[in-house]
Copies of this chain bind each other. A is one copy, B any other.
């Protein structure tokens, strides 16, 4: 017998199948001698329950899926890295398995993880994304996944109409907090680095909405002080260079970066141009990633730590798996402004 089953254990211990099962699962009140014999037999045989059989019988996969319908290679962003770290850490505590949803990132219309659910390989799904990665299709994606009638938690993502279980940052908008901080510090002119990826390359983010946010705080900006691009391909760095390569009066006093990885790119650019941070340029960002601590100049950042968002998503999913028929709920993770050397 190459790999022992519970039947082998029972046989060796001289008890019946169900007795062995009960004892090994702690379902039996007391059986001093028998229990010891069964446990001993299991140990000697090196018995390990077959997870597949157990799951089939229990009608539970004891696993959850992780969906990353990103439009670029998985794991390439610093935000994802932190989210994953949190999810991984919390998952270890659950004893469940974590299955990565196989899906091509280059097909924006498709929602992944459905096959995982339909084939009963997982009990629930955590969907990672950003508002930007979905754009106007977010509602469709949500409806599609809801059709599965399986627990789904949306992570750091969706702020549309449909009620979904999701994890979000608590409190005021992180960008708002940063701007208020800028105002308090007396940084009157503010630029902005953003990463939304639905924009064409080179296309600037809309200026007017941003200006409207600055107005009540007494801050000013200019259209050419906006820049957009991802950190991973160097676009953010170049956008920052473009933005900062202006004479002292022509560039912003402070830069709001929508994402700590963008702030790191901006920091590199600033240092490369000989600007001192924060004396010549103040920098702050909105994702509260772990890398914000280890930047050349530690970064001021706002919002709940991304890894905590990941943890919260796992916890919420476990709740939903336990008691599936709950009303959709938004779990809020607290987090405020962390002031570091960059401002």
**B-side contacts of A61, CB under 8 Å:** 52
Q: Report Cα–Cα, A274/B271, bound state, in Å.
A: 8
14 contacts between A and B (CB under 8 A): A3-B120, A48-B119, A50-B119, A51-B119, A52-B55, A52-B56, A74-B89, A75-B75, A233-B293, A234-B295, A237-B294, A265-B294, A268-B271, A268-B295
Are B75 and A85 interface neighbours, CB within 8 A? yes
Would you call A33 an interface residue if the criterion is a C-beta within 8 Å of the partner chain's C-beta atoms? no
Q: How large is the interface on A (under 10, 10 to 19, 20 to 34, 35 or more residues)?
A: 35 or more
Contact mask A83-99 → B, CB, 8 Å, 1/0?
01100110110011111
Residues from chain B with a CB closer than 8 A to the CB of A294 are 231-234, 237, 265
- State whether B100 touches A100 (Cβ < 8 A): yes
Partner-B contacts on A (CB < 8 A): 3, 48-53, 55-56, 61, 63, 73-76, 81, 84-85, 88-89, 91-92, 95-100, 102-104, 115-116, 118-121, 231-234, 237, 265, 267-269, 271-272, 274, 290-291, 293-298
Instruction: Give the nearest-CB partner of A91 in chain B.
Output: B102
A79 to chain B, nearest CB (A): 11
Q: Is the CB of B85 within 8 A of A48?
A: no
Residues in B whose Cβ lies below 8 Å from that of A115: 48
Instruction: Give the docked Cα–Cα distance between A167 and B206 (Å).
Output: 47
Name the residue on B nearest A268 (C-beta).
B296
Which residues from chain B contact A50 at a C-beta distance below 8 Å? 56, 119-120
Residue of B nearest to A307 (CB): B73
A49 touches B119 (CB 8 A): yes
> Is B102 a contact of A95 with CB atoms below 8 Å?
yes
- A92 with B102: CB separation less than 8 A: yes
